[in-house]
Amino acid sequence: MPSIVIMGVAGCGKSSLAALIAQRNGLKLVEGDDHHSLDNRRKMSQGVALTDEDRDGWLTTLSELLHTQSQGVVLTCSALKRIYRDRLRSASPGLRFVFLEISPAQAQARVTARAHAHFFSSTLVESQFATLEVPTGEPGVLRLDACSPLPHMQTDVAKWLHNEETV
Q: How confident is the model at residue 80 (pLDDT cuts 50, 70, 90)?
A: very high
The torsion angle over the Cα atoms of residues 17, 144, 79 and 41, rounded to 10 degrees, is -50
Judge contact between 124 and 41, C-beta under 8 A: no
pLDDT (tens digit per residue) in 111-137: 888 666 555 666 778 888 999 999 999
Distances (CA, A) of 150 to 12, 85, 93: 11, 24, 27
What the chain holds in terms of domains, given with CATH numbers, is 4-166 (3.40.50.300)
Distance between CA 55 and CA 38 in Å, rounded?
A: 12
CB atoms within 10 A of CB 160: 17
Secondary structure E strands in 104-153: 141-145
Distance between CA 148 and CA 127 in Å, rounded?
A: 24
pLDDT (tens digit per residue) in 28-47: 999 998 998 889 888 877 88
What pTM does this model have?
A: 0.90
